[in-house]
Amino acid sequence: MWEFLKALLFGIVEGITEWLPVSSTGHLILLDEFVKLDVSPAFYEMFQVVIQLGAILAVIVLFFHKLNPFYPKKDAVQKKDTWQLWFKVIAAVLPSAVLGLLLDDWMDAHLYNGWVVAAMLIVYGIAFILVEKRNINRNFPINDVNTIDYKTAILIGAFQCLSLIPGTSRSGATILGALFLGASRSAGAEFSFFLAIPTMLGASALKLLKFMMEGVQATSTEIMVLITGCIVAFVVSLLVIRGLMEYVRKHSFSVFGIYRIILGAVVLLYFLIF
């Protein structure tokens, strides 16, 4: 029961932080400092990534009709636009997919620690505040996700490469890139959600494959922890994505920048003291 409650907590944190530009990986690393799951190190390394499957499912459910090129109520033009959107998402995911395959093991060995997380929280917190200040009263040339062209999509994908460093935030890097490139907050957030589907599915598949190739077997408790985390992440993500889309229509991302800076400073202080 105690492990179930801890898995519940990890799922809640994943569901909230995966879509907000505050770094889900960073928060899970920090949570692990205070709440230790009774699992093997190899399983926990895989768990941090695979728990995102629940969060991905929330995007698919919420945007199913928009992402479905076979939806019968769409006319020929709308179906073509949907296919084009998927092609742009695939093009955008390629830069991070290549770098992720090349650098995954090195990143795990050298960058998954509290110091890096704290630094990236602060750096990108400042970046969000500066970009939002730059965009005050700006007329965004891209106000709809379907008007993002291939060049912009690939550039947003290049920004996603920054999220390979823990503490950066995948959604934070892509939203920040979209804002910088002229997308409105809602268009940037929506494209970031869609970009998460192949990105996180690929990352989860890679971690699962590595876990199985190492010949490690998960215990019944570990399987329960993973399933619980995924289900909770799915439910929480449904609420968070809806709330974020409503929020960004009227507000800027500066509040998340302030949050990142404060949290980064607290994390630095914690590691200095302890």
Residue 122 · residue 184 · CB < 8 Å: no
Q: Which pLDDT score is estimated for 273?
A: 84
For 186, the token pair is 């809602």
| Contacts of residue 1, Cβ cutoff 8 Å, sequence gap at least 6 | none
Specify the range with the lowest mean pLDDT, choosing from 74-78, 103-107, 192-196: 103-107
Q: Which pLDDT score is estimated for 107?
A: 82
- Rounded to 5 degrees, φ, ψ at 267 are -65, -45
**Domain span holding position 179:** 2-273
Q: Tokens 């990890």 belong to which residue?
A: 10
Specify the range with the lowest mean pLDDT, choosing from 137-141, 167-171, 253-257, 264-268: 137-141
Q: Which pLDDT score is estimated for 21?
A: 93
Concatenate the DSSP letters of all residues of 43-111 into one string.
Answer: HHHHHHHHTHHHHHHHHHHHTHHHH-TT-TTS-HHHHHHHHHHHHHHHHHHHHHHHHHHHHHHHHHHHT
For the chain, what percent of residues have pLDDT higher than 90? 61
Question: What pLDDT, in 10s, does the model give residues 122-178?
Answer: 999 999 999 999 888 888 899 999 999 999 999 999 999 998 898 899 999 999 999
Question: What's the CA gap between 129 and 70, in Å, rounded?
Answer: 40
Q: Tokens 């939806």 belong to which residue?
A: 71
Determine the 3-state secondary structure of 183 from DSSP.
strand
Residue 59 · residue 196 · CB < 8 Å: yes
Q: Number of C-alpha atoms within 13 angstroms, CB side, residue 7?
A: 23
Neighbours of 239 (CB within 10 A): 12
Domain total of the chain: 1
Residue 230 · residue 18 · CB < 8 Å: no
Q: Which pLDDT score is estimated for 40?
A: 86
Nearest residue to 50 via CA among 257, 209, 179: 209
Q: Which pLDDT score is estimated for 184?
A: 94
pLDDT at 58 over 80: yes
For 39, the token pair is 């699992």
